[in-house]
Structure 1
Amino acid sequence: MPLKIAAGYATRAGQRPRNEDFVGMVMPDEPELSSKGMIAAIADGVSGNEGGREASEYTIRGLLSDYYATSDTWPVTQSLDRVLKAINSWVQHQGSIRAELAGMATTLTSLVLRGNFYYFAHVGDTRLYLLRKGVLTRLTADHVWDRPEMQHVLTRAIGLDSQLAIDHGMGELHEGDAFLLATDGVWASISEYDLTDHLSQLVSKQHEAEAIANTLIDSALAAGAQDNVSALVVRVDALPETNLRDALSGSQQLPVPPKLKVGQVIDGYTVEEQIHASTTTLLYRVSEPRSGNHTPRKLVLKTLHPDRAQDVHERSAFAHEEWLAKRVVARFFPQIITPEQKTYLYYLTTWHAGNTLQQHLDAGEHFTIPDVIAHGTKLVRAIGALHRRSIIHRDIKPGNIHLGDDGELRILDLGVAQSGLEAEDEVRAPRAGTPSFLAPEQFNNAPASRQTDLYATGVTLYLLLTRHFPYGEIEPFQTPRFGEAVVPSRYRPDLPLWLENVLLKAVARDPADRFETAEEFLLALERGASRPLAPIAPKALAERDPASVWRAVATISIVINLLLLYLLVVR
């Protein structure tokens, strides 16, 4: 589903002889809607002559046309920044060469909605408001002198100075969000209480967007507004599916938080404990803000390590991980929680009491055969849920599988997962993951696949039962030689034959001998002894290791030739 909005505007001269405000909006068709988004802007011209109107109109028209001419590879903020700085130079130049336009300048507030994010660029004292769930928030700051008698004197405007400083901001979009772009003739005449009331009528669809904009203008004039009055309102009716490009773009805008301590608060969430720390990421258990009688939930906050704050690749990988986590809406995974406001680079998930399977192993826990069958069935179902969403996990192991106190099994850490959109990463990093759980073909640089995930699942179940690896433990940077897998019954004589055959098929050295899909693996576990799998048939040496066979043939041929040569010489 594409982005859907309702929008309307109104602008009048009010008590002034001419209207120096200008309002504009573009809602493009595809593919521009996905690549660039929709843009709305409002400007209030400043000049004692005719230049105010010309500055505001040129700025809006130039922005609406030139923004869509910028490169699709640029982030939204970069596109807005480049266009507005070019416009600033033109406006200032015109004011310097044409006497009737001397001192021309304009305020500007622009809003871009693309994918699941909003972006804004702002200079001057026009304003941008957001109404979300009945709460009105002003997103922009006025660029005016802070002295009482000079509060209408601009410190920043387009055309005012050769060096233009633009305020940029961004945030996530929610369905039902309402935005208001207004000149000072409107916001200075109407209280925020009344603004909230008017925008609430827009959200509840009591009136059309254009009618709301006109009502705002009427209210401002009735309240005694002496300036030009302009308002543009936008309501978000539908959002597209979360877009990876927008997620990657957003990751470059937000700062990485510093290392957090217990008791610190970030965007209203209180840190209770640091759960995990690595060289690239930090995990904290936090509690959400208290709301009425509602008991605050415990959540997990994951963010980049401050040392990686300037690493563009790590930022992109982190945003990709969050994007994937939002797609796996199922009981087998922690679920993403969207904060009301987000001023740092992090994401939140549900927190569940319990431990990883690796923690259970490290604590010396003994897994019974029924335990492993039950956990294996849930794990394979979870893997199937990933694969149906075209996601390859690439790091299935006990440390990434959480067993909750509620009995539910959940897969953690999508940090090296692939979604099918990053084929180049697959080729570049085929060994991403933990060596002992990598399939044999991955050591020959074969790409990760559904079968390599299922192989790692088989190794995980084998390890839970035996505390050994089927081909021995593999160290990082080691290139192992794979012989035959050790039968698990060597370590667990009580293992039923049908389960041994399932495990050996899952960890078979040859991909052709393994399960092709998670559904096939699950069926084998569920049927159990009632319809057991046949053991994998042993292969001839020529089939198992053709290179060794040809080396042996070559060696024998050389020996025979040498023997014949010797016999000829002796004669």
Structure 2
Amino acid sequence: MQLTLNAGHATRAGQRPSNEDFVGMVLPGEPELSGKGVIAAIADGVSGNDGGREASEYTVRGLLSDYYATSDTWPVTQALDRVLKSINSWVQHQGSIRAELAGMATTLTCIVLRGRFYYFAHAGDSRLYLLRDGKLTRLTTDHVWDRPEMQHVLTRAIGLDSQLAVDHGMGELRAGDVFLLATDGVWTAIGETALAAQLHELAARKRTADETADALIDAALAAGTHDNVSALAIRVDTLPETDLRDALSGSQQLPVPPRLKPGQIIDGYTVEEQIHASATTLLYRVTEPPHGNNPPRRLVLKTLHPDRAGDEHERSAFAHEEWLAKRVVARFFPQVITPEQKNYLYYLTTWHDGSTLQQHLDVGEHFTVPDALAHGTKLVRAVGALHRRSIVHRDIKPANIHLGSDGELRLLDLGVAQSGLDEMHADAIDVHAPRAGTPSFLAPEQFAGAPPSRQTDLYAAGVTLYLLLTRHYPYGEIEPFQTPRFGEPVMPGRYRPDLPQWLENVLLKAVARDPVDRFETAEEFLLALERGATRPLAAPAPKPLVERNPLSLWRAVAAISIVLNVLLLYLLIVR
């Protein structure tokens, strides 16, 4: 289920010759809806000339567009603060260099609804209200002088001062919440009792948000307001699945199911068989309850091993995995299915007939060059889809790559994956361990303690493609207890003489020991595979011994020095 709203607005000049208010809202689709949320803003321009309207319009338009351009790894409050301070600088600069815009400024009140939380930012005397369970609460504080004769003189506004101070706040969302953003032309004309009465009509679904906004404007004008009047109303109808913070909290509440047997039913899903077991998790194939005339689907149910039920860290890691899996909505990954009821700690994904690439290798399947190229291209596309969502997989290998009978390749198991948002929850998630994953697919720098990155994922994808083609590892197989020394990778043509030279060059670049010699992005890797022989990569240049193996060089220098010293000593003795 997604966040769904009923939203509407109204704005009029009232008795003023022009309308200096500006109202805006963005209701994006996925993945922005989950990643950034819905944003709404209202502004009331001040200056007494055209500058007020220009300030309010630029501020709202700039905020609504620039907010979605900020990094997904930034908290909402940080993103709003940076965008608004940049807008403040522009507005103030325009007012200082253009005489007709002197003194231009604007109030600003905005709200972001993301996941199960709301966030707001505010400067000036426009207001944000929340109606919940019949009670109206004002969430913002007016930034005006407290002297009676100066109650309409702003102490804060966008463009008023070079140093902008913004009030921020947040809270938990509930279905049925009603929010109102209003300029002072509305709230000064009608009291909060009348505001609450209008919003009750929206909460009770007797009016739409558009009708409510119009009714508020009509009431303000009827009360004799002399100002511009603007209102934006929002009713929260449904809430989405929990965000990471919610997921981590909820993971500590649900019980872990006992070990399940075929035929058992959990929340309406019938267990067919256990398909995988590890030290921490169990996977079952289940069938969903019947729905009308549609045949029940097969799904995969993943849960914690009962022995780990009391491990808070494992619970958090499992919730984090589910949260990431919900974010990767693409054909390269199994898709998460939301159950109608959930009384245990687990999550469901789509089931796909087929086998992993490791299973194909285990039965001795030979991959032709065209087959390996097709799989490698899809794999790199899948890795790129993860990276565009700021997710690093950390355990790319044939056992985690599923080749479906429908011809699709799907990347599995986000159990040790990281995203840029993990740092905010580092106390609950182990985001700093550099050695998670399978040793033979770990990049050389990770054995020296370097953190995982997009390039380490691309290295693992390169090793996977190398293995499919040669059935060998570029630096040999690495056991978990080993601390390997990396020399130069074995030329893949040594194991597979039929490899074209261009493909050998691509593989060598993908698995280069030094990160600076590898592909920087999945897009660059993909381009090299797609161009193939038409625009081949150059063969890697040979490196001097001091770069390839500095230890061997210095050992050789030491050995030569010892020989020379012995020879000189001998000559001195003979004389």
TM tier, smaller: 0.5 to 0.7
> Among 528, 536, 539, which residue is 2:532 paired with?
528
Name the counterpart of 1:468: 472
Amino acid at match of 1:322: E
Q: Are the counterparts in 2 of residues 426 and 447 from structure 1 also a CA contact under 8 Å?
A: no
Inter-CA distance 427–563: structure 2 relative to 1 (3 Å threshold) = farther
1:560 CA drift (Å): 3.6
Are 2:479 and 1:450 aligned?
Answer: no
1:241 CA drift (Å): 8.5
Amino acid at match of 1:491: Y
Paired with 1:544 and 1:521, the residues of 2 have a C-alpha distance of 24
Name the counterpart of 1:83: none
Name the counterpart of 1:516: 520
1:361 CA drift (Å): 1.3
Inter-CA distance 275–559: structure 2 relative to 1 (3 Å threshold) = same
User: Greater shift after overlay, 541-550 or 506-515?
Assistant: 541-550
Name the counterpart of 1:402: 402
1:420 CA drift (Å): 2.3
Name the counterpart of 1:346: 346
1:548 CA drift (Å): 2.8
Which runs of 5 or more residues in structure 2 are unaligned?
7-112, 118-132, 134-171, 178-200, 210-233
| CA distances 1:172-223 after superposition (whole Å, capped 9, x unpaired) | x999x569xxxxxxxxxxxxxxxxxxxxx989934479xxxxxxxxxxxxxx
1:239 CA drift (Å): 4.5
1:261 CA drift (Å): 1.0
1:559 CA drift (Å): 4.3
Name the counterpart of 1:306: 306
Query: What secondary structure sits across from 1:205 in the alignment?
Result: coil
Paired with 1:485 and 1:553, the residues of 2 have a C-alpha distance of 25
Amino acid at match of 1:400: N
Q: Are the counterparts in 2 of residues 394 and 453 from structure 1 also a CA contact under 8 Å?
A: yes
| CA distances 1:415-445 after superposition (whole Å, capped 9, x unpaired) | 0111123456777421111111111111112
Paired with 1:301 and 1:419, the residues of 2 have a C-alpha distance of 23
| CA distances 1:232-264 after superposition (whole Å, capped 9, x unpaired) | xx9733657952111111100000000111111
Paired with 1:488 and 1:465, the residues of 2 have a C-alpha distance of 8
| CA distances 1:152-191 after superposition (whole Å, capped 9, x unpaired) | xxxxxxxxxxxxxxxxxxxxx999x569xxxxxxxxxxxx
Structure 2 length normalisation: TM-score? Answer: 0.59
Paired with 1:204 and 1:526, the residues of 2 have a C-alpha distance of 57
Name the counterpart of 1:266: 266
Are 2:481 and 1:477 aligned?
Answer: yes
Amino acid at match of 2:328: V
Question: Within 5 A, what are the aligned runs for 1:492-503?
Answer: 492-503=496-507
Q: Are the counterparts in 1 of residues 418 and 431 from structure 2 also a CA contact under 8 Å?
A: no
1:484 CA drift (Å): 2.1
Question: Within 5 A, what are the aligned runs for 1:96-495?
Answer: 115-116=115-116, 205-207=205-207, 236-237=236-237, 239=239, 243-422=243-422, 428-495=432-499
Q: Are the counterparts in 1 of residues 422 and 431 from structure 2 also a CA contact under 8 Å?
A: no
Paired with 2:388 and 2:469, the residues of 1 have a C-alpha distance of 28
Amino acid at match of 1:274: Q
For this pair of structures, how many residues does the alignment match?
371
| CA distances 1:312-337 after superposition (whole Å, capped 9, x unpaired) | 11101101100110111111001111
Structure 1 length normalisation: TM-score? Answer: 0.59
Q: Are the counterparts in 2 of residues 426 and 448 from structure 1 also a CA contact under 8 Å?
A: no
Paired with 1:343 and 1:474, the residues of 2 have a C-alpha distance of 42
1:481 CA drift (Å): 1.9
Are 2:553 and 1:538 aligned?
Answer: no
Inter-CA distance 174–295: structure 2 relative to 1 (3 Å threshold) = farther
Paired with 1:203 and 1:363, the residues of 2 have a C-alpha distance of 62
Name the counterpart of 2:75: none
Query: What secondary structure sits across from 1:402 in the alignment?
Result: strand
Inter-CA distance 256–427: structure 2 relative to 1 (3 Å threshold) = closer
Q: Are the counterparts in 2 of residues 394 and 433 from structure 1 also a CA contact under 8 Å?
A: yes
Paired with 1:330 and 1:344, the residues of 2 have a C-alpha distance of 26
| CA distances 1:360-418 after superposition (whole Å, capped 9, x unpaired) | 11122211111111111111000000011111101000110011111111000000111
| CA distances 1:486-527 after superposition (whole Å, capped 9, x unpaired) | 222222221111111111111111212111110000000000
1:553 CA drift (Å): 2.6
Amino acid at match of 2:264: Q
Q: Are the counterparts in 2 of residues 114 and 246 from structure 1 also a CA contact under 8 Å?
A: no
Q: Are the counterparts in 2 of residues 462 and 488 from structure 1 also a CA contact under 8 Å?
A: yes
| CA distances 1:333-367 after superposition (whole Å, capped 9, x unpaired) | 01111111111000011111111111111122211
Q: Are the counterparts in 1 of residues 287 and 297 from structure 2 also a CA contact under 8 Å?
A: yes
Name the counterpart of 1:168: none
Query: What secondary structure sits across from 2:284 in the alignment?
Result: strand
Inter-CA distance 437–287: structure 2 relative to 1 (3 Å threshold) = same
1:554 CA drift (Å): 3.6
Amino acid at match of 1:460: T
Paired with 1:529 and 1:434, the residues of 2 have a C-alpha distance of 32
Paired with 2:430 and 2:573, the residues of 1 have a C-alpha distance of 59
1:570 CA drift (Å): 5.9
Amino acid at match of 2:466: Y
Name the counterpart of 2:158: none
Query: What secondary structure sits across from 1:529 in the alignment?
Result: coil
User: Greater shift after overlay, 398-407 or 487-496?
Assistant: 487-496
Name the counterpart of 2:509: 505
